[in-house]
Structure 1
């Protein structure tokens, strides 16, 4: 069980509004059984995470990226858990189970966490050409029973209309593809790059992707806002934690045991900060890790991603989640967290299972 801790960042303006939202949050383990998203053209919630994950408290979001601003206010966990937009038990009945107007939230899955993704509005777009690539990241290496890529029909306007099934045209189907056959084998998962074509299209549209993971009956649903007529940008794999505007100059010390963990403050504001813990395996591969963070007083951590947390007195124990426990010799992963107060460097220990 995770210990609930209220999040009260002492910031003004937009930040105060966000604080009111975060006040009801509890320390969580991040996405425990859901591990992927379309990273290019970026889905709505991954795009918001990519652009604002390291500065979600920045008032500029309200004017520069208003749809993301509304989504952060509605439920910040939709972005922190960017790889958790899935639904179980669909059994291939996508059009029956997911109602019109709720395609981007997977039918208001996860108790409504992703509802803001359904909102019609001026979401940021990715410029693409008539021939483009859909890049799907799979952090848990589930692979796919199948992947379907749709594009909205001419005349559909995502600025004014929520997405319905009749708005979509199927343009690509990828058959059963084990994770070992995906295009890119990455240290933190796999990625498949799917070529697609919508010749003759111009202007705004939406690319809709269904990923039927080869894991239980997990169906993932992603809405990507695009602008046909641009040039496709090179794709990169997603980060394991938010990118930051701070460039820490920390280095990983030599690993004397099974693993070592280092602490970095990546961003801070009045009344709070964001940190990252990097975990590095020793001279042998490991199957899992546990990092203990001991503070002089009450632990300041309020929320974390890519790790499961428990609190005991002045110690926070962070354990890997299902997709980032296995590390090759000298391999690394990381998890991030939000904390209250001023930056505090804990005493850190790391233990691993091999």
Structure 2
């Protein structure tokens, strides 16, 4: 091979390799369908996904939710894969497998994907009373050999101090419970509601949950930031992730300043849907659909997005998407189908080409 041709070949190979690496870094992956997480009080990575996953381009996260911002920068897949924070082969020796200071990452499990969950700081906290409910979602219907709920001891401050095993007090233990016996049976999994009571608590604390799945020796670990008796302001509009402090997690995206919004007519008063373009970049954009319940609570929802031509949607989250002709059907996930009267939830997607506003229709199960 001549020298000029060889140089061209090497350059082409390097460019191709860099492009492949960029695709891995920048393209968010859909959450794994298996496994699960504590969705209430939301764990650190599920809370970050819930608040910001549908607008992961928005730089407002850096000031409005800085702990989630650092987590998205450290590894966006910790949020996209919010249901995969587990270790295998622990054999019940949780304290032996997980060092102090690493409890929220499961001992830096999954090759360090969740390390940012251990970061000390002012994570968004859920306000709860001394009696509260832990909601554990199991997307694969594993069931549980046991579930243990701990609360950090009085005097421990998660804003300033790394979590140690000695900081925790066991407050609830649930014995072997097959998935068929969990509290809520849903289309995309099951949910176990675990009532917990403590006494005389106020201020910031951590709720730590260990779920030992039944299908194998697979242990899940979740840190949920709470505020006993306090008031937590409503979270800001969800925003955007990033891959590392020096790297953007998406291709040169700029948030849409004036997002286009398309309302739908409520279906028999059950639900309505609105569409907004939340960010755009050359060759693509991100969209969000917000589903709002009418005068009555709903148990599930379905939104039809109809386009004038072939739907441009490439990837979505917080809903199951199926395409037929020029219509995309979005059906709620197992964890966001129930919406209180007047309440709302959302799902998002990435799309190719110039931003296009679909015609929306919403139907609900009440």
Same fold (TM over 0.5): yes
Look up the match of 2:228.
Answer: 228
Look up the match of 1:315.
Answer: none
Cα deviation 1:33-68 (Å, max 9, x = unaligned): 43x111111111111111111112222211111111
Look up the match of 2:130.
Answer: 130
Cα deviation 1:55-112 (Å, max 9, x = unaligned): 1222221111111111111111111111111111111111011111111111111111
Structure showing greater radius of gyration is 2
Relative to structure 1, is the Cα distance of residues 117 and 247 closer, same or farther in structure 2, using a 3 angstrom cutoff?
farther
Please tell me whether the aligned partners of residues 30 and 80 of structure 2 are also in contact (alpha carbons under 8 angstroms). Answer: no
Relative to structure 1, is the Cα distance of residues 94 and 67 closer, same or farther in structure 2, using a 3 angstrom cutoff?
same
Relative to structure 1, is the Cα distance of residues 335 and 268 closer, same or farther in structure 2, using a 3 angstrom cutoff?
closer
Aligned residues: 273
Cα deviation 1:234-265 (Å, max 9, x = unaligned): xxxxxxxxxxx96764999xxxxxxxxxxx97
Shift of 1:305: 5.4
Relative to structure 1, is the Cα distance of residues 54 and 200 closer, same or farther in structure 2, using a 3 angstrom cutoff?
same
For 2:135 and 2:262, the matched residues in 1 are separated by 27
**What is the TM-score normalised by the length of structure 1?**
0.65
Candidates 317, 335, 338, aligned match of 2:350? 338
Q: How does 1:133-144 map to 2 (within 5 A)?
A: 133-144=133-144
Q: Please give the secondary structure, in 2, of the residue aligned with 1:24.
A: helix
Q: Is 1:273 the equivalent of 2:273? A: no
**What is the TM-score normalised by the length of structure 2?**
0.63
Cα deviation 1:270-304 (Å, max 9, x = unaligned): 2122479xxxxxxxxxxxxxxxxxx99xx984x66
Stretches (4+) displaced over 6 A: 20-23, 245-248
Please tell me whether the aligned partners of residues 101 and 163 of structure 1 are also in contact (alpha carbons under 8 angstroms). Answer: yes
Please tell me whether the aligned partners of residues 129 and 228 of structure 1 are also in contact (alpha carbons under 8 angstroms). Answer: yes
Please tell me whether the aligned partners of residues 30 and 307 of structure 1 are also in contact (alpha carbons under 8 angstroms). Answer: no
Q: Is 1:83 the equivalent of 2:83? A: yes
Q: Identify unmatched segments of 5+ residues in structure 1.
A: 8-19, 233-244, 253-263, 277-294, 309-322, 325-333, 346-354
Look up the match of 1:182.
Answer: 182
Q: Identify unmatched segments of 5+ residues in structure 2.
A: 1-16, 233-259, 268-273, 290-308, 321-332, 335-345, 358-366
Q: How does 1:1-354 map to 2 (within 5 A)?
A: 24-25=25-26, 28=29, 30-31=31-32, 33-34=34-35, 36-230=36-230, 249=264, 267-271=277-281, 272-274=285-287, 301=314, 337-339=349-351, 341-343=353-355
Q: Please give the secondary structure, in 2, of the residue aligned with 1:54.
A: helix
Cα deviation 1:179-237 (Å, max 9, x = unaligned): 111111122211111111111111100000000011211111000000111489xxxxx
